[in-house]
Amino acid sequence: MAKSAIDNSLDAILEQLGDFGKYQKYVFTLVFIPIIMHSAVHVAYVFTAVDLTYRCEVPPCDSNSTTYEPDWLINAVPYSDGTPEKCDMYTYNSTQATNSSCSSDAFNTEEIVRCSSFIYETNEASILQEYNLQCSNNLWKLTLVGTINSFGQFSGLFIAGALADRYGRKVILVWGMVLCAVCGLIRTAMPYYELFMVLEYLDAFFSSGTFITGFVLAAELVGPKKRALAGSIACSGSAFGGIITSAAAWMLKSWRPLIYALYTPCFLLISYLWLIPESIRWNIEKGRIEEAKMTLRKIAKVNGKELSEKALDQIDVAETEHKTNQNDTFIRAIKSRILLLRFLNSCVCWLSCAFLYYGLSLSSVTLASGNKYLNFLLTSLVEIPAMFLCIVLLPHFGSRRSLSAFYFLTGVACAAFIFIPSDAYVASLSVYLTGKFAATAAFTAIYVLTTEMFPTVYRQSFMNACSTVSRCGIMIAPQMPLLGAIWTNLPLVCFSAIAIVATFLTLLFPETLNMKLPDTIEEAENMSKLRKGELKENRLQDK
């Protein structure tokens, strides 16, 4: 059998102590919680800034006990597609009423006026009522909340990555969510829409690095054989976050209590400063060898494994290598032709993933129940089996080939959807869910693959840079309905074409199956060569 590529390395020590032993499971569980918290607060704006169903209040006819659509409403309010107009009503003339104050002859249907008070279909509350954002001329202020949230994530991701690589993963994981919670809670007390938006931006800015920081912290703690498992479970946090948010919103149906429920628990993360260790790899790269050894000893003790001093001596070797490569800079990493091309390809694939994932998520509204809470819940639920499929496939087939297959399946599903008759609901829904399933699996796989392709000292910077670029895909996805106005199936054609292109671009990445995480620029550059050499040696051994 070929000599393992992870011998004489930190990965070898982690394998000896247990790739995913009791201690790693304990830390992973704790790290998984802020990942879920981040995912929950990240999508809270969907319900805090939701547009509601309402119509004009008609003073002569409405009373405190009035309903949304009484029998007389058709006399007082114009209808469009069987639905009362939200902000228009007919002028009222009580002198013309013959039967009752709300009869048809009491309203002049030739004259329509704008109203300033409203009756709502349900008792739901969003910022629409808080800041008087009713009517179509204010709709952009509601949709802008999501845009500002995405921009906050966009502008904060790269900074969070640089800070995490410099000051540690744990610091960003904890304080990013705590500051996010502070901004979120203060936001509920803002008297003006503009101040609300400033806090919305800061909320997203501070929390932007939490998901990736938690993901990297989890991936760097486990051995190579369990990285795909850890990565897939970590990515499932986004689905659980969406489920929690939709369930809480469905139960509370009011934006302030929803923010209180989602953001207040974030303050408990301050305890993580004592409960979880810093990344072993980050400690080694920063020369904190004793801290790294202390964590390894704790892993050995909890996992019930023996850890020899000879094995710990390998950490000192890593420190020597660190000093040898201390002149490495991110600029030098980018100047590497191999890493630069790999990084640019990663950016394109990340952007494609985000575009497909969010584009299909937004399109799901027309295929699911009219209940917006149930719709969001189902959209989140479909992600879980896709992410756990990665747990099975990635360790056996590798991240690169799996990612390529997921892209291909997404493209085929989007293309097939075009040819399914609109009245074939079951068939169209099945194909759509297949596309969303595959797009979610692709997002999971690209997180794992990107973690495995870049050197430790710059891993989070590369991850955050790729994720930052992916935000462009998130910003583009909501514009797809504009293409649908030209041709109904044009958005699906775009989804399919981008997915197929990404299928082939993914094959340009090195295969990382069972490879050690590269710690230096040179190791990252030589991944493909090492992989080919290992396969050649294996073939010779088999003979």
Compute the average pLDDT of residues 292-318.
74
- For residues 468-491, one letter each, b for 16 or more C-beta atoms within 10 angstroms of the residue's C-beta and e for the rest, the string is bbbbbbbbebeebeeeeeeeeeeb
Predicted local confidence at residue 517, as pLDDT: 73
Indicate whether 425 belongs to any domain. yes
Distances (CA, A) of 84 to 69, 74, 81, 137, 369: 8, 8, 8, 17, 21
d(CA 531, CA 515): 8
Clarify whether residues 113 and 147 are in a common domain: no
Indicate whether 129 belongs to any domain. no
Q: Which residue has the higher pLDDT, 274 or 224?
A: 274
Strand 88-92 with 107-114, pairing = antiparallel
Q: What does the DSSP 8-state code read for residue 192?
A: S
DSSP string covering 335-366, please?
HSHHHHHHHHHHHHHHHHHHHHHHHHHHHGGG
Q: Which residue has the higher pLDDT, 327 or 397?
A: 397
d(CA 124, CA 35): 28
Q: What is the CATH number of the domain that holds 514?
A: 1.20.1250.20
Q: Is 387 in contact with 236 (CB distance < 8 Å)? A: yes
Domain that holds residue 88: 54-121
Clarify whether residues 30 and 111 are in a common domain: no
Clarify whether residues 273 and 206 are in a common domain: yes
Q: Which residue has the higher pLDDT, 363 or 215?
A: 215
Q: pLDDT tens across 479-514, in order?
A: 665 566 577 778 888 899 999 999 999 998 888 777
Clarify whether residues 71 and 196 are in a common domain: no
**What is the CA angle 155-159-161, rounded to 5?**
120
* Of 83-92, 366-375, 377-386, the least confident: 366-375
The mean pLDDT of the chain is: 80
Q: Which helix (H) or strand (E) holds 445?
A: helix 425-453
pLDDT band, residue 542 (cuts 50/70/90):
very low
Q: What does the DSSP 8-state code read for residue 51?
A: -
Question: For residue 88, what are the β-bridge partners?
Answer: 114
Clarify whether residues 40 and 85 are in a common domain: no
d(CA 381, CA 287): 43
Q: What does the DSSP 8-state code read for residue 60?
A: T
Question: For tokens 């939709």, what's the residue?
Answer: 246
Predicted local confidence at residue 10, as pLDDT: 72
Res 55 pLDDT > 70: yes
Indicate whether 131 belongs to any domain. no
Clarify whether residues 75 and 45 are in a common domain: no
Clarify whether residues 339 and 472 are in a common domain: yes
Clarify whether residues 267 and 158 are in a common domain: yes
Q: What does the DSSP 8-state code read for residue 63?
A: -
If one counts the domains in the chain, the total is 2
d(CA 230, CA 345): 24
Clarify whether residues 66 and 183 are in a common domain: no
Query: Looking at 66, 93, 121, which one is the last position of a domain?
Result: 121
In SS3 terms, 395-429 reads as HHHCHHHHHHHHHHHHHHHHHHHHCCCCCCHHHHH
d(CA 437, CA 330): 35
Clarify whether residues 66 and 215 are in a common domain: no
Clarify whether residues 65 and 191 are in a common domain: no
Distances (CA, A) of 476 to 205, 354, 433, 469: 20, 9, 21, 12
Question: For tokens 């640089």, what's the residue?
Answer: 162
- For residues 229-238, one letter each, b for 16 or more C-beta atoms within 10 angstroms of the residue's C-beta and e for the rest, the string is bbbbbbbbbb
Clarify whether residues 351 and 483 are in a common domain: yes
Question: For tokens 């607060």, what's the residue?
Answer: 41
pLDDT band, residue 422 (cuts 50/70/90):
low
Indicate whether 126 belongs to any domain. no
pLDDT band, residue 180 (cuts 50/70/90):
very high
In SS3 terms, 260-312 reads as HHHHHHHHHHHHHHHHCCCCHHHHHHCCCHHHHHHHHHHHHHHHCCCCCHHHH
Indicate whether 496 belongs to any domain. yes
